[in-house]
Structure 1
Amino acid sequence: MNHEYFEQAKKQYEKWGISIEEAFEKLKNVPISIHCWQGDDIAGFETEQQELSGGIDVTGNYPGKATSPEELRNDLEKALSLIPGNHRINLHAIYAETDGQWVDRDKLEPKHFEYWVKWAKKHGLGLDFNPTLFSHPKADDGLTLTHPDQDIRDFWVRHCIQSRKIGEYFGRELGTPALTNIWIPDGYKDIPSDRLTPRKRLKESLDKIFDENIAETYNRDSVESKLFGIGSEAYVVGSHEFYMQYAQQNQKLCLLDTGHYHPTEVVSNKLSSMLVFNDLLALHVSRPVRWDSDHVIIFDDELREIGMEIVRNDALDRVLIGLDFFDASINRVAAWAIGTRNMVKSLLYALLLPHNYLKQLQEEGNFTERLALMEEFKTYPFGIIWDYYCEWMGVPVGESWLTDVKDYEKNVQLKRES
């Protein structure tokens, strides 16, 4: 890249007291938890393959998806080579490796994730975890932890307890605590006649799950809300209000998924309220288009607002950022690269704004200058700074990463058996 252009751009920011070097140093230490399930369309590696269920759908049939743990890890390595920073990988329980033996989910153990831990150690990665409460015969009717059948509820309780133990194993082995996040699909397609009883059952199930003593040094627990899903359009048991209060009462993390709210409701506006009452928050960043469709995230207004809310509130170490999108209509490695680079980009954009001065203008009631500056910074030479950051971090600059993906697709992905 042209370093003369970079020096000119740098001076424009420096006149506002913004240090590019300090921004780079901060950003390189912010890990994004990259979801493994983009690479194989949430298929997983269970020996008894299940149909995707739980209000989740992946559309498209782009060739070259990963069909084995080795292929998935290779694809993740390729994606990580295109993304600046030091990041984490987020796993679901269905990505266990059981040496061809059927192990039901309530019997999963840390040993079934040993290969993931060895790989993570080799590449200096942290691991996060999620119990998989969908795509299973005991979730066929869309109910798990709230099921009227006690035996089914108990099965899923055991699965979640085992998942927390696996998260603890990750944290102990890798020296960085895992985030183990619980999301359930439970709800009803049409208007329920009883909203309270399922929520009482959910609280009872969660209480049993968290009663198991797991070292918080190694594992952090979070609960994830949702407004609606396919097959649960009228009512979801685990609403935002339910989980926000449960997390607050039980000292668990509340995880906000950017696709899980009304189309006109944005997560960026929730962060400051949540940060007043919580030491830590967790995010799953996706992009809804009219509904929770989990499109690859783009550098749009809401993503920039999320980055700004995290940075301007000095919360880079208080908001655990994970991603959650899945698109099978485009190259899956490219999807990771596009989405994760955009998440990192939004944080860099936020780090290059004069937040203290803008806050001062607001306190003084000087809304004219505040608005003017916020608009002018939108066309500052941010792209040049981003390119330099990528070069500084040793990853492809600009769109040149796409050449790497095309080569990888031709030489690796398209040679796989579908």
Structure 2
Amino acid sequence: MVNVQNVEKAYEIAKQRYADIGVDTEKVMAQLKAIKLSVHCWQGDDIHGFLFPNQELTGGIGVSGNYPGIARTPDELTGDLHEALSLIPGQHKVQIHAIYAVTDKKKDLNELEPEDFKYWVDWAKQEGVGLDMNGTFFSHPMVKNNFTLASPDPEVRSFWIEHGKRSRLIANYLGKELGQQSVNNFWIPDGFKDNPIDKETPRLRLVDSLDQIIKQELPEENTIEAFEGKLFGTGIESYTVGSHLFYNNYALTRNKLWTIDAGHWHPTEDVSDKFSAFLPFGKGLMLHVSRPVRWDSDHVVIFDEALVRIARSLVRDNELSKTNIGLDFFDATINRVAAWVIGARATQKALLQAMLAPIDQLRKAEFNFDFTTRLAETEELKSYPFGAVWDKFCLDNNVPVGNDWLNNIHDYEKNVQFKREG
């Protein structure tokens, strides 16, 4: 167990160190506490959902591993989410997919209604969290030849357009009931495995489908749409209809959010550089924090250089107010609840470290072309005691400090998760 007295002592030293360079750690911790992460529910059950739990994952979606204790029911999944949220400092949101509807009769995706998500609303009210929405455009028989909203088949398009419309009504319901805007994210797997002849027509069909979906005006205080591009996917290696540039332009021209998933870019690209290029023109961003390893492999987020750059860009360029930060990864090789905690806490640590900097002073040095000061100070900041501030932040928010949260996980998997097997 971490010694609380030692945490307090270390924090007082760190507080003074940061004060010496003009950084108020108390103000920074209050700023961090106000940031709500959107924790993705599908890490807890390997994206099975409740509508078609035995359906094979398709559309470029895949989960590896078979660690025991997977959530199989709504109560098991929300129980796991509760455990994770209790170990993450602050008050957050949860992302759900359409396949997580809790219904008393069999329904298809184009038949879902807001009341099919009452279970989630009741739980969210009890938990004190908001809910974000995702339409499920994968792992379904109506994904024909890797096409949904851009399909040349009118019947296929009609099915998915109706699903998209219903997902908006569901998101509107979530936002209205919980008093927090529900971001409704759209991602589709459409594309070709090999080189296509016609690249434009599928994109024109996608524009038309999306325009039909968003035609009905809904109050933005309840919900707003976000559109997520992709570099490529399994089975669509040569051509992705919903590319980054496509959705960038669609979001700009429809006054919607653009979703940037950290795993959906070429490994040599700096995702953090995209924010400041889009936000001077765009309404806002939905960010999916993920970790690609050689490809879009959705590894659990860790405190690595890519995450640090993302956090720095959001903080230094004052982009947090226009950015919704969500998690998006799935790993079944480790405890699934621990994966949530590791990823969320890593994201918060990166944001905290970025905030613990004399940003105005560094901006001034840069403005005056004093690159020596800029480089020297940013290098020294890397060894400043931000870890002590993080420990204090956890302590003040009544969550375990350091690795103490792992004891909670071990108890939980022994007394709850492992008892689900067999």
Q: Same fold (TM over 0.5)?
A: yes
Give 1:64's match in structure 2, choosing from 56, 69, 87.
69
Post-superposition CA distance 1:3-34 (Å, at most 9, x none):
22211111110011111110111111110000
1:289 counterpart residue number = 293
1:239 counterpart residue number = 243
Give 1:146's match in structure 2, choosing from 139, 150, 159.
150
1:128 counterpart residue number = 132
Q: After TM superposition, list the pairs within 5 Å mapping 1:11-410 onto structure 2.
A: 11-47=16-52, 49-99=54-104, 101-410=105-414
- Aligned counterparts of 1:304 and 1:274: Cα–Cα separation in 2: 20
- Stretch of structure 1 that moved more, 137-146 or 332-341: 137-146
CA deviation after TM superposition for structure 1 residue 111, in Å: 0.6
CA deviation after TM superposition for structure 1 residue 47, in Å: 4.7
SS of structure 2 residue aligned to 1:245: helix
Post-superposition CA distance 1:118-174 (Å, at most 9, x none):
010111110000000001000152110011100110100000000000000001000
Query: Are the counterparts in 2 of residues 282 and 321 from structure 1 also a CA contact under 8 Å?
Result: yes
Q: Percent identity?
A: 53
Query: What is the letter of the counterpart of residue 221 of structure 2?
Result: T
Query: Are the counterparts in 1 of residues 162 and 213 from structure 2 also a CA contact under 8 Å?
Result: yes
SS of structure 1 residue aligned to 2:280: helix
- Aligned counterparts of 2:111 and 2:56: Cα–Cα separation in 1: 20
Query: Are the counterparts in 2 of residues 190 and 235 from structure 1 also a CA contact under 8 Å?
Result: yes
Query: Are the counterparts in 2 of residues 53 and 140 from structure 1 also a CA contact under 8 Å?
Result: no
Query: Are the counterparts in 2 of residues 258 and 284 from structure 1 also a CA contact under 8 Å?
Result: yes
Query: How many equivalent residue pairs?
Result: 417
Post-superposition CA distance 1:297-336 (Å, at most 9, x none):
1101111111111111222221100110000000000000
- Aligned counterparts of 1:237 and 1:65: Cα–Cα separation in 2: 34
- Aligned counterparts of 2:179 and 2:407: Cα–Cα separation in 1: 35
**Residues 1:4 and 2:24 are matched in the alignment:** no
Query: What is the letter of the counterpart of residue 148 of structure 2?
Result: T
- Aligned counterparts of 2:195 and 2:52: Cα–Cα separation in 1: 37
TM-score by length of 1: 0.98
Query: Are the counterparts in 2 of residues 120 and 127 from structure 1 also a CA contact under 8 Å?
Result: yes
CA deviation after TM superposition for structure 1 residue 212, in Å: 2.0
- Gaps (5+ residues) in structure 1? none
- Aligned counterparts of 2:346 and 2:53: Cα–Cα separation in 1: 36
Query: Are the counterparts in 2 of residues 6 and 388 from structure 1 also a CA contact under 8 Å?
Result: yes
Query: Are the counterparts in 1 of residues 251 and 282 from structure 2 also a CA contact under 8 Å?
Result: no
- Aligned counterparts of 1:230 and 1:189: Cα–Cα separation in 2: 8
TM-score by length of 2: 0.97
- Aligned counterparts of 1:74 and 1:317: Cα–Cα separation in 2: 30
Post-superposition CA distance 1:218-267 (Å, at most 9, x none):
11111000010111111110001101011101111111000111110121
Q: CA 1:327–1:275 in structure 2 vs 1: closer, same or farther (change >3 Å)? A: same
SS of structure 1 residue aligned to 2:324: strand
- Aligned counterparts of 1:46 and 1:226: Cα–Cα separation in 2: 26
- Stretch of structure 1 that moved more, 382-391 or 313-322: 313-322
Query: What is the letter of the counterpart of residue 308 of structure 1?
Result: R
Query: Are the counterparts in 1 of residues 256 and 283 from structure 2 also a CA contact under 8 Å?
Result: no
Post-superposition CA distance 1:43-69 (Å, at most 9, x none):
000157321001011000001010000
Query: What is the letter of the counterpart of residue 72 of structure 1?
Result: L
Query: What is the letter of the counterpart of residue 95 of structure 1?
Result: Y
Post-superposition CA distance 1:356-388 (Å, at most 9, x none):
111111111111111111111101111111111
Q: State the Cα RMSD in Å.
A: 1.0
- Aligned counterparts of 2:124 and 2:299: Cα–Cα separation in 1: 27
Query: What is the letter of the counterpart of residue 79 of structure 2?
Result: N
Query: Are the counterparts in 1 of residues 125 and 178 from structure 2 also a CA contact under 8 Å?
Result: yes
- Aligned counterparts of 2:52 and 2:188: Cα–Cα separation in 1: 22
Query: What is the letter of the counterpart of residue 238 of structure 1?
Result: G
- Stretch of structure 1 that moved more, 307-316 or 161-170: 307-316
CA deviation after TM superposition for structure 1 residue 72, in Å: 0.2
- Gaps (5+ residues) in structure 2? none
- Aligned counterparts of 1:141 and 1:295: Cα–Cα separation in 2: 27
Query: What is the letter of the counterpart of residue 255 of structure 2?
Result: Q
